[in-house]
């Protein structure tokens, strides 16, 4: 029996396009609002990312910057300066004549003293290099090479008595002292000395403030025997 097919026709429904002729604008307005909202969130996201990058840059720069650490320095009535702890001194620190005189006395005493202990002489010379400017260190090294106190250890004992420190002019000082020398045979003699010292005040750094808190440095030193 041959197959038979039935045809069925459906009538087209009349559905209005909401975008035609201003009909059903609510859907279009809703879609437009969603688009604007998505654009706003994208802008906010970009702003937040930008601020985060800026904050990260500022954080890295602040971490890498050198910190100013305060130090506390105690100046004795004698003029001696002593590092007590972290409180960084400002550039307006007042260095008294007593402190300068103490530094000069300390430098000459350590430079000229000869002990029977080799380590004491070594420590004294090491302290002297802390008290001089970088430019004068090579000159001082040559002076010590020509007149080394180390070769005198176990041969003599030399002590120093600073008699006077006179401010000549500017940064120069005239210093008089007496050296008392005793050899291994217990023979004694005295030598009177005079020197002209030029000092320089240098703002301490983190590397130098512990050993030279006030930044008083010997820039030149010339001595003669009277």
What is the per-residue pLDDT for 88?
38
- Among 87-101, 145-159, 197-211, the minimum mean pLDDT is found in 87-101
Same domain, 23 and 100: no
Same domain, 135 and 186: yes
Q: Give the domain CATH number at 191.
A: 3.10.450.230
DSSP letter at 87? -
- Among 3-12, 163-172, 183-192, the minimum mean pLDDT is found in 3-12
What is the per-residue pLDDT for 59?
76
| Total number of domains in the chain | 2
- Residue 206 is assigned to a structural domain of this protein: yes
Residue 174: CA count within 13 A, CB half-sphere = 4
Sequence-separated (6 or more) residues with CB below 8 Å from residue 181:
156, 157, 158, 188, 189, 190, 191
Tell me: the pLDDT tens digits for 126-153?
999 999 999 999 999 999 999 889 999 9
Look at residue 24 and tell me whether its pLDDT is greater than 80. Answer: no
Look at residue 87 and tell me whether its pLDDT is greater than 70. Answer: no
- Residue 136 is assigned to a structural domain of this protein: yes
Same domain, 37 and 116: no
- Residue 70 is assigned to a structural domain of this protein: no
Query: Chain-centre distance of CA 189, in angstroms?
Result: 47
Look at residue 224 and tell me whether its pLDDT is greater than 90. Answer: yes
Same domain, 106 and 181: yes
Same domain, 33 and 135: no
% of the chain beyond a pLDDT of 90: 40
Q: Indicate yes or no: pTM above 0.85.
A: no
Domain holding 53, by residue range, is 19-59
Tell me: the pLDDT tens digits for 98-121?
888 999 999 999 999 999 899 999
Higher pLDDT among residues 103 and 68, named by residue: 103
Higher pLDDT among residues 24 and 178, named by residue: 178
């Amino acid at each position: 029996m041959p197959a038979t097919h039935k045809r069925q026709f459906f009538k087209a429904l009349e559905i209005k396009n909401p975008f035609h002729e201003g009909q059903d604008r609510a859907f279009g307005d809703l879609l437009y609002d969603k688009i604007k909202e998505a654009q706003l969130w994208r802008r906010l996201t970009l702003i937040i990312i930008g601020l985060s990058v800026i904050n990260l840059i500022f954080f890295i720069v602040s971490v890498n910057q050198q910190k100013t650490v305060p130090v506390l320095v105690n100046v004795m009535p004698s003029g001696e300066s002593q590092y007590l702890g972290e409180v960084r001194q400002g550039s307006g620190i007042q260095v008294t004549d007593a402190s300068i005189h103490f530094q000069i006395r300390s430098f000459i005493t350590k430079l000229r003293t000869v002990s029977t202990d080799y380590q004491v002489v070594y420590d004294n010379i090491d302290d002297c290099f802390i008290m001089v400017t970088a430019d004068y260190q090579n000159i001082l090294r040559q002076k010590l090479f020509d007149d080394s106190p180390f070769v005198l250890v176990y041969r003599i004992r030399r002590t120093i008595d600073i008699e006077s420190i006179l401010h000549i002019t500017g940064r120069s000082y005239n210093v008089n002292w007496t050296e008392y020398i005793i050899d291994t045979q217990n023979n004694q003699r005295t030598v009177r000395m005079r020197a002209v010292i030029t000092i320089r005040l240098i703002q301490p750094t983190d590397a130098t403030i512990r050993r030279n808190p006030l930044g008083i440095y010997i820039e030149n030193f010339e001595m003669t025997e009277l």
